[in-house]
């Protein structure tokens, strides 16, 4: 699935510098690979990434599959670099109830625990 459509993908993309986002979605290479975001949609996409940065999570409201919504957060290694993301998907009809019941803090704590494990078991030595 396209990173710009999924909650985990958007959480990871939000951590990239703007020139890299442009390279991924507005360059000739993006066009060749079929990853271009239309010029009319691009400003809204950048605003969404800014919102992800400030909130610390990304959402996907039926953007990849009808009837499914998801919340995602980036996972970091001990150096603070993004190494992946964690997403929780739920039927769209229950998303608001799950969100209001504490999904963000629960996901944040799960990510924190996973990042402790990632830091303790690095894929590459220092």
DSSP string, the chain: --TTTSHHHHHHHTTS-HHHHHHHHHSHHHHHHT-PPPTTTHHHHHHHHHHHHHHS-EEEESSSSTTEEEEEEEEE-TTS-EEEEEEEEEEHHHHHHHHHTTHHHHHHHHHHHHHHHHHHS-SS--
Match 């670099």 to its residue by tokens: 81
Instruction: Identify the band that residue 125 occupies on the pLDDT scale cut at 50, 70 and 90.
Output: low
pLDDT for res 55: 96
Instruction: Identify the band that residue 126 occupies on the pLDDT scale cut at 50, 70 and 90.
Output: low
pLDDT for res 1: 85
Tally of residues, the chain: 126
Q: pLDDT tens digits for 26-54?
A: 998 888 888 899 999 999 999 999 999 99
Closest C-alpha among 51, 104, 30 to residue 73: 104
Q: pLDDT tens digits for 63-122?
A: 999 999 999 999 999 999 999 999 999 999 999 999 999 999 999 999 999 999 999 988
pTM (predicted TM-score): 0.90
Closest C-alpha among 46, 36, 60, 55 to residue 105: 55
Is the pLDDT score of 123 beyond 80? no
Cα(95)–Cα(61) distance, integer angstroms = 9
């Amino acid at each position: 699935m396209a990173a710009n459509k999924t909650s985990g993908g958007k959480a990871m993309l939000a951590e990239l510098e703007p020139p890299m986002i442009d390279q991924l979605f507005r360059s000739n290479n993006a066009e060749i690979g079929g990853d271009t975001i239309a010029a009319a949609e691009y400003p809204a996409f950048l605003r969404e990434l800014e919102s992800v940065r400030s909130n610390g999570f990304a959402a996907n409201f039926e953007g990849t599959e009808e009837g499914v919504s998801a919340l995602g957060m980036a996972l970091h290694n001990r150096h603070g670099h993004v190494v992946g993301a964690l997403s929780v998907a739920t039927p769209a009809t229950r998303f608001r109830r799950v969100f209001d019941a504490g999904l963000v803090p629960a996901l944040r704590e799960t990510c924190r625990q996973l990042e402790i494990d990632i830091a303790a078991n690095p894929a590459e030595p220092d």
